[in-house]
Amino acid sequence: MKKIGLSLLAFIFLGYLAVCILMYIIQNSFIYYPGPIDESKSYIAEYKNSEIIINHEDINLHGWLLNSGKSKLIIYYGGNGEEVSHNLNDLSRFKNYSILLLNYRGYGKSEGSPDQDAIFEDALFIYDRFSEDYEEVILFGRSLGTGVASYVAGKRNPSKNILVTPFDCLANVAQSYYPYLPVNLLITQKFDSVENIKDYKNRSLVFIAGTDKIIPNKSSYNLAEKLGDSCKTVFIKDAGHNDIQSYPEYWKEIARFL
């Protein structure tokens, strides 16, 4: 009987270990959901003349630069399942700003494969390349993109930073989904925004969706708290993670902040 019990425990342990190893190996498939550009959308042709390609480390990153020639620039960073052309019409409303939207590696027409370190390096390269041409740069990140914006903000200290449904650390979010796994030991793509943005001192605007089922509100509030008095937090009670942009309050607050 004792041997059966020990065998059962060994089987459970090996099974648990196998799950941990599998999660470690395939973690990128849980974090990144790259997709192609939907060429059937009419606005894709409308913004054809705004398309740009930036080469970094022999990787071509594809996107759009709207309202080229303005004195201020907004750089947008999309979510983990977001091909950024979906934002062209929404962001084009800010006529007094140039708007830069580039797809991460592997998204849309951008080459390569997404990876935290590569995304961070691309983001810094892009910021440095464009910031010299503008008197002011504003970062605008959504979901996973808030992790990118937080990293760049901590390294380059832009004038303003907009974070939509952000998280404190991706490892903490993953831990809430998999409470019985040692997530912090397994995940290599941590996107530790609290750590990355700690040296940023300028103004931030944080949006929290009251019915967010993807990012726990606790995680968003934790990041906002770490940003201190320079951060304005906007809580939209009925908004969800994927539809917060459909609420008029969202766009009004962004316009005021800008």
pLDDT in tens, 90-112: 999 999 999 999 999 999 999 99
pLDDT at 160: 97
Predicted TM-score of the model (pTM): 0.93
pLDDT digits (tens, 9 = 90+) for 25-80: 888 888 999 999 998 888 899 999 999 999 999 999 999 999 988 999 999 999 99
pLDDT digits (tens, 9 = 90+) for 39-53: 888 889 999 999 999
Computed over its alpha carbons, how large is the radius of gyration of the chain? 20
Please give the Cα distance from 34 to 136 (Å, whole number). Answer: 30
Question: Is it the case that residue 1 has pLDDT exceeding 60?
Answer: no
pLDDT at 8: 64
Please give the Cα distance from 16 to 43 (Å, whole number). Answer: 48
Side-chain-side CA neighbours of 152 within 13 Å: the count stands at 32
pLDDT digits (tens, 9 = 90+) for 173-186: 999 988 888 888 88
| Structure tokens, 204 | 């931030």
pLDDT at 10: 67
Instruction: Tell me which H or E stretch contains 256.
Output: helix 248-257
Question: Is it the case that residue 134 has pLDDT exceeding 90?
Answer: yes
DSSP 8-state secondary structure symbol assigned to residue 247: S
Please give the Cα distance from 175 to 235 (Å, whole number). Answer: 24
Residue 164 phi, psi dihedral angles, 5° rounding: -110, 120
Please give the Cα distance from 215 to 160 (Å, whole number). Answer: 23
pLDDT at 11: 63
Question: Is it the case that residue 21 has pLDDT exceeding 90?
Answer: no
pLDDT band of residue 233 (cuts 50, 70, 90) is: very high
pLDDT digits (tens, 9 = 90+) for 209-221: 999 999 999 999 9
pLDDT at 206: 98
Q: Where are the beta strands (DSSP E) in 9-68?
A: 51-56, 59-66
Instruction: Tell me which H or E stretch contains 156.
Output: helix 144-156
